[in-house]
Chains A and B, each alone.
Chain A
């Protein structure tokens, strides 16, 4: 049985888990968006071009397949927290700046936002590194996520059934909230044959959303999180995370990409043809290599941050709602927001270029910074105003290479309002 203090400690660690999962999402998305998955290569050797095309497409599919499972892990940790009487705080909880250490990770670790590079893939392997069997659980100064979750699991084992007082407001299966695969997670085994050789990076039997009603559910959710990251603890290869052995663990996926990247021996010219030249850790003034952003692009970068932060707020609000109100907020809001707003904004941004003072050319990248809205009551209006500002900038023809379409503005207007009154979500 947990004392009230220990139960609070468990809730605190679950909130930490939520924030750790959240901090990995921009890391993976940043690198994902740096990849042109269907590049038009000027390489004359057809076999070489196909090899690079296939790698580019696979790298994107793998990165997104991991990113969607990190979103799942955030939700599972939040569900356990809800069940135990807490509520996840997600809005404004993205890391303030990159590079950063992961919350409560052992000192000295640092990871940032970079385009696709071999060293970044190795960093991703470090994040997902399997915990040795003999490693002690650690709630603080942890070195592997498995170690951290093992600490949480040990606390969960000491809970009693009456601690699980809140089965409501969780994000549960059967409501269309989560699907392991979509067009962004799949890739072609052979780019030349494209859709006839489609590979599905994620498998149904590695687990999905779970409602947490008791200790057993909570432990199963923690096992799911750990195994999707590092594979089966007792399997020395840490290759798979599902019974059918169709889905590879995050660590193994990154390990394979890292090996392939090495084997390809890409020249700088080849890399340029499928990797957008994103700066490292944009928007961090403390970064000694910070690339100054031209002021004309600040509105769209702000809009991108605001959309990202609004998505986090919608997620947080979803854990306070029930039934159709929750579906309106999460199913409609998050799907529309992620796929048809954020993805489209970044997809357009990255094709815009600018030069730094040394004449180096960069592609416009997202910063995934927390955007602080004035209030929950005005957040949606502020978001719409930011989008309208970008459209106005387009109309004034300020020589930006980025243009926001009216369609995206309309989709932003169609998002649910995070300012929920009672259990009724407004779209106005």
Chain B
């Protein structure tokens, strides 16, 4: 159900999937969250974005033009990378919608990647590498990024918003992330390891 028109959406007043929500790392979490992280990890290199327009968990999950990590994407759903602070796993996310999902968490959490309601309630790392799969719930054994994209598309359609094709079909691979966005140290491709699965 993708809308393949590349017409930028500039209406930042629509609530929808958070378009117009102007937040930065460390901002008090929305939704009445009381627990505020005391610090944020700071991605390095090209991934640094001093003032993201919208916080989202991965490639292709941005609600507006210019809302990806680099601020250069043409349309909703076409962003190249997350704006949420990169973090390595479960309960380490700063804010709402910043959890990546997969690997740890309940079936409900794992079925809602990038859609958590509060800080420290995300299920896994950001960004969501293409190789990551869910370990619980209806999406078990399937791609977390693809599930995140479905959740995103459902939210956009509900808000009557257009969106474009993702930058990479299937989401960013670990190899792609490591080459283009330094500072990422989350779960590996298969993650089938113990004692340091995630960093």
Q: Are A183 and B105 in contact (CB under 8 A)?
A: no
Residues of B within 8 A of A324 (CB): 34
Q: Are A184 and B131 in contact (CB under 8 A)?
A: no
**Cβ distance B172 to chain A, nearest Cβ, rounded Å:** 16
8 Å CB contact of B192 from A35, A188, A328: A188
Residues of B within 8 A of A411 (CB): 92
Residues of B within 8 A of A332 (CB): 35, 91, 120
Q: Are A339 and B135 in contact (CB under 8 A)?
A: no
Residues of A within 8 A of B104 (CB): 179, 182-183, 335, 339
Residues of A within 8 A of B39 (CB): 410
8 Å CB contact of B194 from A33, A179, A335: A33
Q: Does B193 contact A (CB under 8 A)?
A: yes
Q: Pick the interface stretch among A15-23, A93-101, A192-200.
A: A192-200
Per-position 1/0 for B33-46, Cβ under 8 A of A:
01101110100000
Residues of A within 8 A of B37 (CB): 414
**Cβ distance B174 to chain A, nearest Cβ, rounded Å:** 12
Q: Does A317 contact B (CB under 8 A)?
A: no
Q: Does B3 contact A (CB under 8 A)?
A: no
Residues of A within 8 A of B109 (CB): 176
Number of inter-chain CB pairs below 8 Å: 122
Q: Does A413 contact B (CB under 8 A)?
A: yes
Q: Give the distance in Å from the alpha carbon of A335 to the alpha carbon of B91 in the complex.
A: 7
Q: Are B105 and A182 in contact (CB under 8 A)?
A: yes
Q: Does B10 contact A (CB under 8 A)?
A: no
Q: Give the distance in Å from the alpha carbon of A21 to the alpha carbon of B196 in the complex.
A: 25
Residues of B within 8 A of A331 (CB): 91, 121
Per-position 1/0 for A106-139, Cβ under 8 A of B:
0000000000000000000000000000000000
Q: Does A344 contact B (CB under 8 A)?
A: yes
Residues of A within 8 A of B133 (CB): 195, 198
Q: Does B50 contact A (CB under 8 A)?
A: no
Q: Are B103 and A183 in contact (CB under 8 A)?
A: yes
8 Å CB contact of A195 from B107, B131, B196: B131
Q: Give the distance in Å from the alpha carbon of A79 to the alpha carbon of B91 in the complex.
A: 25
**Cβ distance B108 to chain A, nearest Cβ, rounded Å:** 8
Per-position 1/0 for A348-363, Cβ under 8 A of B:
1010000000000000
Residues of A within 8 A of B13 (CB): none
Q: Does A310 contact B (CB under 8 A)?
A: no
Q: Are A183 and B91 in contact (CB under 8 A)?
A: no
Q: Give the distance in Å from the alpha carbon of A176 to the alpha carbon of B131 in the complex.
A: 24
Residues of B within 8 A of A347 (CB): 194-196
| Known contacts A182-B135, A344-B196, A348-B196; A413 and B189 CB within 8 A of each other | no
Residues of B within 8 A of A204 (CB): 107, 136
Q: Does B61 contact A (CB under 8 A)?
A: no
Q: Are A194 and B192 in contact (CB under 8 A)?
A: yes
Residues of A within 8 A of B35 (CB): 328, 332, 427
Residues of A within 8 A of B102 (CB): 183
**Residues of chain B from 86 to 108 with CB closer than 8 A to chain A in the complex:** 88-92, 102-108
Q: What 17 new A-B contacts, CB under 8 Å, besides A33-B194, A188-B190?
A: A32-B194, A37-B193, A61-B192, A179-B105, A179-B106, A182-B105, A182-B135, A183-B103, A183-B198, A195-B191, A198-B133, A204-B136, A340-B89, A340-B92, A343-B194, A343-B197, A407-B88
Pull 11 A–B residue pairs with CB atoms less than 8 Å apart, ordered by A: A38-B193, A178-B106, A182-B135, A188-B192, A194-B189, A200-B135, A324-B34, A336-B92, A344-B199, A347-B195, A427-B35
Residues of A within 8 A of B (CB): 32-33, 35, 37-38, 57, 60-61, 64, 176, 178-188, 194-195, 198, 200, 204, 324, 328, 331-332, 335-336, 339-340, 343-344, 346-348, 350, 407, 410-411, 413-414, 427
